[in-house]
Structure 1
Amino acid sequence: MTLDSLKPGQTARIVAVAWDVLAPDEGKRLRALGFDEGAEVGVSYRGVFAGSDPLAITIGRMTVALRRVHAAAMAVEQL
């Protein structure tokens, strides 16, 4: 299961990130925000445009707007 497949209100733990599918600068920014293996995340909201982009992802006490392509690179296990 990937992060982009979670529904609003669901929470999960990131188990793997396919860093090779992301541009190096994008990966660096995501790591700086805490998106890495072991982080607990939740989907707060899905956008209404073009395939539900962007996603509002809660990580820690932050809510971050994340493109669906970035969320698809993160494998998660539902909590």
Structure 2
Amino acid sequence: MTAVSSERTLDQLGHGEQGRIVRVSGERTLRRRLLDMGLVTGEKVTLTGVAPMGDPLELLVKGYHLSLRKAEARLIIVESVNASNL
């Protein structure tokens, strides 16, 4: 059975939805900071919460919770696949 996948930015994940990081872009310093926080290609990430006004987003990555602004989350491309393939 083939998994259905689609690429979108991290801020487009729904609450509780998981994705696998495909690419991290942005200016050099910000990109380095995101990578240092564990947001690296191939890593699984789950959107666990959204602040009342929609910003920031709370993520679960590598077993810890991380908050990112939507503007930063837009720099991260994730592949959404069904949970059994993550």
Tell me if both proteins adopt one fold, taking TM over 0.5 as the criterion. yes
Gaps of at least 5 residues in structure 2 are: 1-7, 82-86
Q: Of the candidates 29, 33, 38, which is equivalent to residue 34 of structure 1?
A: 38
- 1:15-41 superposed Cα distances (whole Å, 9 cap, x missing partner): 011133xxx433222111111211110
Aligned pairs, number:
74
Aligned structure 1 segments of 4 or more residues deviating by more than 6 angstroms: none
Q: CA deviation at 1:58?
A: 0.6
Matches within 5 A, 1:60-75: 60-75=62-77
Q: What SS does structure 2 have at the residue aligned with 1:37?
A: coil
Q: Distance in 2 between matches of 1:8 and 1:42?
A: 8
Q: CA deviation at 1:2?
A: 0.7
- Compare CA radii of gyration and give the structure with the larger one: 2
Q: RMSD value over aligned CA atoms? A: 1.2
Task: Please report the TM-score for the alignment, with normalisation by the length of structure 1.
Answer: 0.85
Amino acid at match of 1:33: M
